[in-house]
Structure 1
Amino acid sequence: MKKLLASAILLGLAAPQAAMAAEEVNVYSYRQPFLVEPMFKEFTAETGIKVNVKFAKEGLAEKLQQEGEYSPADVLLTTDISRLVELADKKLVQSVDSKVIEQNVPAQFRDNEDEWFALTMRARNVYSSRDRVGKLPAEFDYKDLAKPEWKGKICTRSGKHPYNISLVSSMIAHYGEAETKTWLEGVKANLARKPQGNDRAQVKAVKEGLCDLAIGNSYYLGNMLNDESQKAWAESVYINFPGQQANGTHVNVSGMAMAKYAPNKANAQKLMEFLTGDKAQHMYAEVNYEYPVKEGVARSELVASWGDFKSDTLSLEKVAEYHTAAIKLMDEVKFDL
Structure 2
Amino acid sequence: MTKFLSTSIFFAAAAAVAAPVLADEVNVYSYRQPELIKPLTDAFTAETGIKVNVAYLKKGMIERLEAEGDRSPADMVLTVDISRLAGVVNAGLTQPVVSDSINENVPAQYRDPENHWFGLTTRARIVYASKDRVADGEVTTYEDLADPKWKGRICTRSGTNAYNVALTSAMIEHHGEEGAKTWLEGVKANLARKPQGNDRAQVKAIWAGECDISVGNTYYMGKMLSDEEQKEWADSVRIVFPTFENAGTHVNVSGVALTKAAPNKENAIKMMEFLTSPKAQEIYAKANFEYPVAPGTEADALVSGWGEFTADDVNLMTLAGNRSQALKITEQVDFDG
SS at match of 2:224: helix
The residue number in structure 2 matching 1:122 is 123
**Superimposed CA distance per residue, residues 262-308 of structure 1 (whole angstroms, 9 cap, x where no aligned partner):** 00000000110100012111112211110101010011101111111
Number of the residue aligned with 2:8: none
Q: Is the 8 A contact 2:225 2:234 kept in 1?
A: yes
Instruction: Provide the C-alpha distance between the structure 2 equivalents of 1:257 and 1:247, rounded to a whole number of angstroms.
Output: 28
In structure 1, the partner of 2:68 is 67
TM-score by length of 2: 0.92
Q: Secondary structure at the residue paired with 1:262?
A: coil
Task: Name the counterpart of 2:11.
Answer: none
CA distance in 1, matches of 2:211, 2:137: 15
Q: Distance in 2 between matches of 1:195 and 1:59?
A: 25
Conserved 8 A contact 2:142-2:244:
no
Q: Which has the higher helix share?
A: 1
Amino acid of the residue matched to residue 301 of structure 1? Answer: A
Shift in Å, 1:143: 0.6
Tell me if the contact between 2:21 and 2:263 (Cα under 8 Å) persists in the aligned partners.
Answer: no
**Deviation, structure 1 residue 245:** 6.1
Is the Cα contact below 8 Å between 1:71 and 1:262 reproduced in 2? yes
Task: Give the greater-gyration-radius structure (CA).
Answer: 1
CA distances 1:64-94 after superposition (whole Å, capped 9, x unpaired) = 0111111100010011001111011100101
Q: For residue 75 of structure 1, what is the amino acid of its counterpart?
A: M
Structure 1 residue aligned with 2:30? 29
- Three-state SS of the structure 1 residue aligned to 2:22 is helix
Counterpart position of 1:267: 267
Equivalent in the alignment of 1:8: none
Mapped to 2, the partners of 1:244 and 1:238 lie a distance apart of 19
- Take 2:278 and 2:108, find their aligned partners in 1: how far apart are those partners? 18
Instruction: Give the structure 2 partner of residue 315 of structure 1.
Output: 315
Shift of 1:112: 1.1
| DSSP-derived class of the 1:167 partner | helix
Residue identity over aligned pairs, in percent, reads: 57
Give me the whole-angstrom Cα distance separating, in 2, the residues matched to 1:298 and 1:180: 34
1:102 match: 103
Query: After TM superposition, where is structure 1 displaced by more than 6 Å over at least 4 residues in a row?
Result: none
- Unaligned 5+ segments in structure 1 are 1-18
1:92-136 Cα shifts (integer Å, max 9, x gaps): 101111111111101111111100111111000011001111433
In structure 1, the partner of 2:144 is: 144
Letter in 2 for 1:252: N
- Comparing 213-222 with 311-320, greater Cα deviation is found at 311-320
| Secondary structure of 1:54's aligned partner | strand
1:11 corresponds in structure 2 to none
- Judging changes above 3 Å, is the alpha-carbon distance between structure 1 residues 180 and 21 closer, same or farther for their aligned structure 2 residues? closer
2:13 paired residue number:
none
> What amino acid sits opposite 2:224 in the alignment?
M
Task: Report if aligned partners of 2:143, 2:245 keep a CA contact under 8 Å in 1.
Answer: no
State the superposition RMSD in angstroms: 1.4
**Matching of residue 80 in structure 1 with residue 81 in structure 2:** yes
1:1-337 superposed matches below 5 A: 21-137=22-138, 140-243=140-243, 246-337=246-337
- What is the TM-score with the length of structure 1 in the denominator? 0.92
CA 246–20 in structure 1, closer or farther in 2 if over 3 Å, else same: closer
The verdict on how the C-alpha distance between 1:245 and 1:173 changes in structure 2, with shifts beyond 3 A counting, is closer
Q: d(CA) in 2 for partners of 1:167 and 1:185?
A: 14
Counterpart residue identity of residue 254, structure 1: S
- In structure 2, how many angstroms separate the alpha carbons of the residues matched to 1:231 and 1:200? 11
Given that residues 135 and 238 in structure 1 are in contact (C-alpha distance below 8 angstroms), is that contact kept between their aligned partners in structure 2? no
